Chains A and B, each alone.
Chain A
Amino acid sequence: MALNPFFLQGSSNEQFLIQDLVNEQLKIYGIEVYYLPRKFIDTDKIFRESQTSKFDDNFIIEAYLNNYDGYAPGSDIMTKFGLRLKNEINLIISKERFEEYITPILSGRVQGIELGFINDYDLEVVTRPREGDLIYFPLGERFFEVKRVEHEKPFYQLGKNYIYELQCELFEYENEDIDTTIEEIDRKLEDEGYITSLILGGTISEATATADIDDGVVSQIILSDDGSFYSSNPIVSIQNSPSFTLSNDSTDNATAVAITTSVGNVRSIKSIRITNGGRGYNISNPPLVTITDSSGSGAIATAVVSNGSINALQITNPGSEYYIEPIVTIGGPSVGQTASARAIFNPITGEISGIQIVNSGYGYTEAPTVQISSASTVSIGGTYLYNETVIGSLSGTIAQVKYYNSRTDLNQSNPPGDLRVSINSGQFSPGEVIVGSASSAAYILKSYDNDNYGEEYDANEEIETEADSIIDFTEINPFGEF
């Protein structure tokens, strides 16, 4: 008999004792780390890569830090891709603690996936620590990715293994969703990844306008030929009103502007809108309309003269936070045709700068009501929460809040400032309302910058700015403008 018969060489009780001693040692000499298991949102089965992952669970567990002399020297290296950190740590955790604390919770999630209660992610292998999971190391305030799990060291003492050694390296971040609800952890990524900046508008006020009506008004200008090769500002001239010779009042004369459109690098007239319908024109002898331009030609338009038509729309309040064109609704006459108009907004100030008449109608006996739709149907205000999801009301783009400059003294000259978001599903567009999913905070987007905010490595914008003055993209940059 080779073994000593007075020892059991690995009875359950001996193994339990060793495990308890290991657990005790880890609780005494260990440190608390956060174990963040990876949830697989989308996995490419061909390339065998986890395309999208999230880490929204956290388990605080005791671990022995096996780096008695710190990180290895030379952990920060200079590469052609900028600075890259290679810090590594080795952590020892208790096998029993993992299996009794973390495994049951993750197994419950797996069961939820199998039963269809959870369908937005998958989980793989929950009985042991997994490569690819994250460890948040509070002492260094860093995220480490588990590269390898060693489970047989020490090697079967008393017939069993008692610990896992996690060999970890600093995490390479690529827009993974890390939302553990622990602010200390989540906030560490506040400035990391692809972060875009949104400038939000302040409180909104609705623009108002009034209409003037008169007889002999140029109520519509019909375009019968759109011409070609126009510049963006062709001039529309309308013959003077017969009443002008008597009154010498320039408002008797109709004025209009041309709206152009460009297709295939050929710009033509899209429509002609009236800025002042004038008065005193002869219905049966409408004035001549001429369109002149430095480069284009060929456009032909004719005027229609009507009685009881709107000849001017006066803005009584320019409103605020208009970054997309609002809808102008004009009341109709009891008998006749309802007028229609388009609002012009200033994208810098957000105010309505003018209203152009598309068709000034006819048959009005009194000035109709004019209503300009509000910049938002959603009430504006609130405070965005860190890591909450926001959605753009028009673009449908979804993103996560990384920073919000909350202010209480909101007004026109004091907008709420910056909202910075990450993990964007697309691009936001000015004028839309950015609504917080949890906070219900909502503000109108004034401008959107898709440059990576605060990332010192990225020089995309600087390269573009310098190139703009030296590159001649006579047609278009096929790679897209920055």
Chain B
Amino acid sequence: MEHAADPDLVRDAKRGDEAAFTSLLRPLLEPAYRLAAGMLQDRQLAEDAVQEAAVKAWQKIHRLREGTAMRPWFFGIVANQCRTTRRGRWWSVLKTGAEQRGAESPDEEAVRGIDLRNALKRLRPEQRLVVVLYFYLDLPLEEIATITKASFAAVRGRLYRGIRELKADFPITEVQA
């Protein structure tokens, strides 16, 4: 589980110290961007979402309670921003619709990649969020539960359902170590 944010930095940030806030934020931007990219599957949208989330975090920093870890709190804001982005840009549903395989037969690995990407897109947003946090950001389920404000059981259920939906669309090859 993530450690609590530096209390001195949090206190200074709450007083309006931008440098303290950016110190808290800096180590989180790279994984936050990966989270947004995984959710939105679009670099520009991901960049915008993280920037927007950072501004919202600044506006809400007074709500960060003492002893609370910064990472799940900020990732929760990023996840919400991704949802807002998806809702606001309705046309992106068309844009991010399932990719077609090319007329020419690509190699098997490329096909599997397209299939998996399409399967990820088809996941419900709450399932995709859990899948991205667990498999792409390698976060523990406890922290994912904090980020998603869901119970441990709900997160576990979403993850299993997400995996099952991915498996239904994408045959996973058992790889021997």
Chain A partners chain B: no
Report B's interface with A, CB cutoff 8 A: none
Report A's interface with B, CB cutoff 8 A: none
